[in-house]
Amino acid sequence: MDVNPSDKNALVQRLIEARNALLAVARDLPEAQRSRPARDDGWSPKDIVGHIASWENRYITLIQHLINGHADRIEWLHGEEEVDAWNRREYLRKRDWSWDEVIRDLALIREELLWNLGWATPEQVFQEHPVAGGSVSVARFLEGLIEHDYEHLAELTGGSAA
């Protein structure tokens, strides 16, 4: 595999930019808005931030498995029902957290991810790993995290942020 280290650096930079944009908006939300339902399902900005951190924490484990060559150890969520149930469990786990706790969690989770990526070679980041139904790579998981940040940034700003 011929991978340029600058490809990894560019991907990591996009990851940092997406999170910085999200954190800038989240940190500037007025206190009165942070816990007020912002979506039809009743989730508040605090719940959305907690949700983002929960998914990133899950992805760190998946990415570590890939970097270490253990794609076979990944525990996949199958179908929308399993994803919804996982989201619900995480929502319930974090619903009593304070705004400061969810923001701190979001920032620290990203630092852990970046630390893990710092050790990964460009080849490990872009290597495709066969899994049932196709293949995965660290890079694709990272692209998903970037998308996820921008998706929820749009919710927090009430419009399109990407």
Q: What is the pLDDT of residue 95?
A: 92
Q: What is the pLDDT of residue 155?
A: 87
DSSP 72: G
CB atoms near residue 11 (< 10 Å):
19
pLDDT at 25 over 50: yes
pLDDT digits (tens, 9 = 90+) for 120-137: 999 999 999 998 888 999
Q: What is the pLDDT of residue 60?
A: 96
Kindly state the average pLDDT of the residues 27-33.
90
Fold of 5-157: Four Helix Bundle (Hemerythrin (Met), subunit A) (1.20.120)
> How long a stretch of residues is the chain?
162
Q: Give CB contacts under 8 A, 24+ apart, made by 140-148.
A: 141/59, 141/62, 141/63, 141/66, 142/11, 142/12, 142/15, 142/63, 142/117, 143/11, 144/59, 145/15, 145/18, 145/55, 145/56, 145/59, 145/113, 146/14, 146/15, 146/18, 148/52, 148/55, 148/56
pLDDT at 4 over 60: yes
The domain ranges of the chain are 5-157
As a whole number, the mean pLDDT across the chain is 90
pLDDT at 1 over 60: no
